[in-house]
């Protein structure tokens, strides 16, 4: 076999679904310059020159150029440039048509509707650029000619989470990377009033929701696109108002152009010293958080988790109801393997489907993965043939070499090289896992609509941006308790949900402290809480069960737990080493194994000290608490309801 | 000697002195008719690679996950490692190991 495969692989391939003849199947002399016989599989291996030559290409003296003039399998006319899937040669046009057809499945599945606002997660790599190009092509703007029907009017914001500092780059290098990503997005066609590009540093995950974008608008790094974002918000997300948006954008851009033209970006915006200090504090905190994870896999996963949180939070803040990610089939297949290896099979179905609506109840946007049928090779060639260069983070892979994720990725790649059906076999198998009802399309609210009645939270959409992201914390407006654990993304049992909802209600009520020590009967607090809760029989019962369950928790945990209301910031905090935060949406297995274990049993059990402790205090920053024990002010506020 | 323009993308350039484009003259192996891609890879590993060979090659061919283009065409269309490389060809190695 002359495709670079050895004999063992040849046998494997023969045994597989695609039988592999070594010659062009027709076995007729090719009279044409390009072999247009429909020998799908391995006709490439035969010399496809016009001469009657059946020798394998490598030893044929007819030269390389003849062998490359293989016709595209789909259109049979143009020259093939890439071999995809099960050895199908395709020309550029057919490749692009195939890829965009898959992204357009969004429309045919009614996942992207007119007047939606979509946030595109853009990393600057091949698959992000492919996704962006195709999405922009799907969009109907004011300039679209009438005859191009089938295009949808939706708004787009391109969102990049700048993780450069997390990989050890300096702030300046991170800024340069952010600018490079913006340039890449613009090359794909983004960057206008309804396709703004926004770069957000990962350390912003520590900001509270309402502060998220206000900071970025005044950011000094991105004068041009920060203005885009501002105009984007001002203009609103209504397509009909695009004219206003355009005017606002031009105004702002004109203003920015003057300052940018002066050559010094810093002149255009004031960034107060305090802002800068706080930003550095957040960066330091992020760094400490990542360093506290001892193993590379955990660190990568935590990074990924923070990135997703920030994406969802910023998108929600911008009023987007959908987040579009560019994960390719290759990436998803590797994730199936790695997540299974880590024991996260329960949460897997939600991760790999086209639509992930688990967080919608909390006011977060639904996550779509329109590239899940596109292989990474197709995405690379798509970009390459259009001349789009990827933006690469200038770091080496040294840190990721030993992680489970890297191992899964190289496993899938290695298998795929020999067996082209690997990817889709893995995905098809994983797709057999059914998703939960709350993770279905019906759960995603349309713009200007409140979500389905089962959700009690005010997860409003593009019309009123204030409600976004605030599911809980407003006394009297009801609660939106989560359906899945924050950490492992597995669904919560009804009992777990009950406990969390009750605890969250008590937090929302105000300055209450619940001691889970069964000896202390805080009767007054309980009844006050019960009064302020909704007169929903279930919740009142939940309060009682909360006490009993916390009593049970106290029995298992070595120390007494103390609750601190999230709302009462100026209150001085009890410096408790390991609080069991009952309102945090974690499943019981995460809670007991990873998060809230007391120090002694954890160190005995050898559980990594990362991710312990829940104290998140603005004042503390990254200095930990006053008590001598080792706490980690780790989890960002967005982890709470 | 065959003059080849080699380009590295997708993070591979870090292994080759942070340089994306290289113009090299590759000697043809004795006894061979022309320069095969496999031989080019071996030559690049021996003469151009600065560090971490296991990220570029695996055995006698590129590591799975690295795409090779010869004159903007998938090398699998022309025989993968057995493809012949002519004078003036442009060979691109793209690593897909980083996420997109």
Whether the predicted pLDDT of B90 surpasses 70: yes
Rg (CA), chain B: 12
Q: Which residues in chain A touch residue B63, judged by CB atoms under 8 angstroms apart?
A: 410, 413
Residue A24 confidence (pLDDT): 40
Tokens read off for A92: 């550029």
CA distance A394 to A163: 11
CA distance A559 to A557: 6
CA distance A514 to A550: 9
Residue A354 confidence (pLDDT): 75
Question: Read out DSSP for B28-61?
Answer: PPTT-SSEEHHHHHHHHHHHT--S-GGGTEETTE
Residue B27 confidence (pLDDT): 85
Q: Which residue of chain A is at minimal alpha-carbon distance from B85?
A: A64
* Residue A197 bridge partners (DSSP): A158
A422 CB near a chain B CB, below 8 Å? Answer: no
SS3 percent helix, strand, coil of chain A, rounded to 5, is 45, 5, 45
Contact A61, B32 (CB under 8 A): no
pLDDT in tens, A326-362: 888 889 999 999 989 988 877 787 777 777 777 776 6
pLDDT in tens, A245-282: 333 333 334 334 333 333 333 333 445 677 788 888 88
pLDDT in tens, A190-199: 777 667 888 8
Question: Read out DSSP for A28-94?
Answer: S---SSS--S--TTTGGGB--SSSS--SBTTT-TT-HHHHH-PBPTTTSSSBP-EEETTTEEE-HHH
Whether the predicted pLDDT of B34 surpasses 70: yes
Contact B89, B71 (CB under 8 A): yes
Minimum-distance CB partner of B100 among A58, A127, A397: A127
Would the CB atoms of A4 and B11 count as touching at under 8 Å? Answer: no
Minimum-distance CB partner of B79 among A2, A377, A410: A2
Q: Which of A11, A5, A14 is nearest to A56 (CA)?
A: A5
Q: Which residues in chain B touch residue A327, judged by CB atoms under 8 angstroms apart?
A: 99
Residue A292 confidence (pLDDT): 87
Residue A425 vs residue B50, higher pLDDT? A425
Helices (H), A202-272: 212-217, 223-235, 242-261
A47-61, A128-142, B64-78, B85-99: which range is least confident on average? A47-61
Would the CB atoms of A44 and B72 count as touching at under 8 Å? Answer: no
Contact A352, A372 (CB under 8 A): yes
Q: How confident is the model at residue A25 (pLDDT cuts 50, 70, 90)?
A: very low
Q: How confident is the model at residue A472 (pLDDT cuts 50, 70, 90)?
A: very low
Residue A394 confidence (pLDDT): 63
Q: Which residues in chain A touch residue B96, judged by CB atoms under 8 angstroms apart?
A: 126, 330, 376-377, 380, 413
Helices (H), A218-241: 223-235
Neighbour-count burial for A476-496, b at 16+ CB within 10 Å, e otherwise: ebbbbbbbbbbbbbbbbeeeb
* Mean pLDDT across A177-205: 82
Would the CB atoms of A409 and B71 count as touching at under 8 Å? Answer: no
Mean pLDDT, chain A, rounded, equals: 62
pLDDT in tens, A293-331: 888 888 888 888 888 888 888 888 888 888 888 888 889
Residue A495 confidence (pLDDT): 82
Does the pTM surpass 0.90? The reply is no
Residue A54 vs residue B11, higher pLDDT? B11
A54-58, A237-241, B9-13, B88-92: which range is least confident on average? A237-241
pLDDT in tens, A355-398: 777 777 667 788 888 888 888 888 999 988 888 888 877 655 55
* Mean pLDDT across A191-214: 72
* Mean pLDDT across B34-39: 86
CA distance A520 to A162: 48
Range 295-354 of A in CB contact (< 8 A) with B: 326-328, 330-331
Q: How many CA atoms within 13 Å lie on the side-chain side of A522? A: 22
Question: Read out DSSP for A434-489?
Answer: PPPGGGSGGGSPPTT----TT--S----TT--TTTT--S--TTS-----SB-TTT-
Residue A100 confidence (pLDDT): 87
Would the CB atoms of B78 and A61 count as touching at under 8 Å? Answer: no
Whether the predicted pLDDT of A67 surpasses 80: no
Q: Which residue of chain B is at minimal alpha-carbon distance from A416?
A: B64
Mean pLDDT is highest, among A59-63, A75-79, A150-154, for A75-79
Whether the predicted pLDDT of A23 surpasses 50: no
CA distance A540 to A5: 67
Complete edge-to-edge strand list for the sheet that includes strand A117-121: A195-201, A155-162, A117-121, A322-324, A366-368, A355-356
Residue A437 confidence (pLDDT): 66
Q: Could you tell me which residues come within 8 angstroms of residue A40 by beta carbon, excluding any fewer than 6 positions away?
A: A18, A73, A86, A87, A88
* Mean pLDDT across A221-242: 34
Mean pLDDT is highest, among A137-141, A172-176, A398-402, for A172-176
Share of chain B above pLDDT 70, in %: 97
Would the CB atoms of A331 and B99 count as touching at under 8 Å? Answer: yes
* Planar angle of CA A109, A352, A394, nearest 5 degrees: 115
CA distance A48 to A610: 59
Would the CB atoms of B73 and A413 count as touching at under 8 Å? Answer: no
Residue A593 confidence (pLDDT): 66
* Mean pLDDT across A518-536: 41
Strands B84-85 and B73-74: unpaired
Residue A452 vs residue A207, higher pLDDT? A207
Residue A491 vs residue A517, higher pLDDT? A491
Residue A473 confidence (pLDDT): 30
Would the CB atoms of B65 and A82 count as touching at under 8 Å? Answer: no
Mean pLDDT, chain B, rounded, equals: 85
Contact B45, B16 (CB under 8 A): no
Whether the predicted pLDDT of A137 surpasses 70: yes
Whether the predicted pLDDT of A549 surpasses 70: no
A18-27, A371-380, A442-451, B47-56: which range is least confident on average? A18-27
CA distances from B6 to A332, A515, A540, B50, B69 (A): 31, 68, 70, 15, 10
Would the CB atoms of A380 and B96 count as touching at under 8 Å? Answer: yes
Q: Which residues in chain B touch residue A80, judged by CB atoms under 8 angstroms apart?
A: 73, 77
Whether the predicted pLDDT of A556 surpasses 50: no
Residue B77 vs residue A34, higher pLDDT? B77
Residue A333 confidence (pLDDT): 92
pLDDT in tens, A590-640: 777 666 544 433 443 344 444 444 333 233 333 333 332 233 334 444 444
Residue A444 vs residue A399, higher pLDDT? A444
Q: Which residue of chain B is at minimal alpha-carbon distance from A382?
A: B72
């Amino acid at each position: 076999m002359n495709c670079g495969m050895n004999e063992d692989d040849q046998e494997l391939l023969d045994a597989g679904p695609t039988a592999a003849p070594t010659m062009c199947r027709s076995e007729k002399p090719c009279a044409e310059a390009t072999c247009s016989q429909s020998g799908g599989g391995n006709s490439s291996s035969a010399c496809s020159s016009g001469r009657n030559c059946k020798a394998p290409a490598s030893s044929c003296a007819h030269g390389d150029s003849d062998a490359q003039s293989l016709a595209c399998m789909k259109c049979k006319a143009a020259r093939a440039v890439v071999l995809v899937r099960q050895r199908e040669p395709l020309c550029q046009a057919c490749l692009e048509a195939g890829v965009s057809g898959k992204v357009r499945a969004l429309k045919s599945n009614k996942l992207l509707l007119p007047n939606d606002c979509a946030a595109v997660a853009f990393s600057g790599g091949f698959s992000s650029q492919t996704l962006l190009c195709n999405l922009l092509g799907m969009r109907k703007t004011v300039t679209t000619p009438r005859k191009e029907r089938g295009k949808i009017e939706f708004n787009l914001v391109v969102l990049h989470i700048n993780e450069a500092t997390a990989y050890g780059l300096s702030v300046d290098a991170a800024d340069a990377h952010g600018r490079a990503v913006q340039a890449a997005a613009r090359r794909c066609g983004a960057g206008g009033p309804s396709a703004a590009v926004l770069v957000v540093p990962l350390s912003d995950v520590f900001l509270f929701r309402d502060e998220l974008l206000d900071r970025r608008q005044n950011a000094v790094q991105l004068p041009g696109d920060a203005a885009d974002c501002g105009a984007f918000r001002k203009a609103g997300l209504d397509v009909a108002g695009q004219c206003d948006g355009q005017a606002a954008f031009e105004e702002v851009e004109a203003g920015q152009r003057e300052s940018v033209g002066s050559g010094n970006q810093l002149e255009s915006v004031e960034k107060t010293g305090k802002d800068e200090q706080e930003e550095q504090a957040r960066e330091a905190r992020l760094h400490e958080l990542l360093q506290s994870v001892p193993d590379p896999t955990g660190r990568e996963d935590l990074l990924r988790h923070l990135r997703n949180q920030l994406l969802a939070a910023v998108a929600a803040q911008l009023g987007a109801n959908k987040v579009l990610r560019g994960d390719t089939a290759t990436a998803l297949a590797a994730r199936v393997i790695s997540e299974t290896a880590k024991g996260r099979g329960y949460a897997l179905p939600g991760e790999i489907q086209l639509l992930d609506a688990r967080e919608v109840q909390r006011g977060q946007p639904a996550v779509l993965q329109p590239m899940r049928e596109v292989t990474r090779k197709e995405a690379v060639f798509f970009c390459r043939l259009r001349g789009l260069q990827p933006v690469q983070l200038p770091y080496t892979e040294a840190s990721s070499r030993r992680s489970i994720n890297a191992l899964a990725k190289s496993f899938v790649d290695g298998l795929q090289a020999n067996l082209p059906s690997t990817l889709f076999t893995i995905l098809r198998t994983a797709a057999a896992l059914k998703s939960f009802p709350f993770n279905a399309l019906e759960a995603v609210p349309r713009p200007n609509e409140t979500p389905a009645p089962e959700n009690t939270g005010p997860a409003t959409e593009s019309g009123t941006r204030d409600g976004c992201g605030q599911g809980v914390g407003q006394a009297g407006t009801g609660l939106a308790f989560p359906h899945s654990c924050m950490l492992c993304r597995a669904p919560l049992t009804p009992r777990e949900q009950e406990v969390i909802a009750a605890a969250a209600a008590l937090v929302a009520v105000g300055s209450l402290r619940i001691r889970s020590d069964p000896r202390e009967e805080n009767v007054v607090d309980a009844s006050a809480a019960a009064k302020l809760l909704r007169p929903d029989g279930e919740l009142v019962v939940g309060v009682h069960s909360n006490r009993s369950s916390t009593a049970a928790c106290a029995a298992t945990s070595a120390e007494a737990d103390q609750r601190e209301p999230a709302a009462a910031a100026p209150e001085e905090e009890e410096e408790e080493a390991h609080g069991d935060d009952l309102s945090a949406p974690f499943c019981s297995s995460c809670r007991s194994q990873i998060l809230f274990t007391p120090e002694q049993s954890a160190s005995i059990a050898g559980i990594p000290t990362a991710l312990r402790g829940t104290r998140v205090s603005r004042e503390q920053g990254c200095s930990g608490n006053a008590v001598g024990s080792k706490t980690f002010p780790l989890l960002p506020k967005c982890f709470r309801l | 000697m065959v003059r080849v323009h080699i380009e590295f993308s997708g993070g591979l350039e870090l292994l080759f002195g942070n340089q994306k484009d290289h113009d090299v003259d590759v000697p043809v192996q004795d006894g061979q008719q022309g320069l095969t891609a496999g031989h080019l890879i071996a030559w690049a590993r021996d003469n151009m690679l600065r560090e971490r060979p296991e990220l570029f090659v695996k055995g006698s061919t590129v590591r799975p996950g690295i795409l090779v283009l010869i004159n903007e065409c998938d090398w699998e269309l022309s025989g993968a490692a057995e493809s012949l490389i002519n004078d003036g060809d442009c060979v691109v190695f793209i690593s897909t190991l980083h996420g997109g």
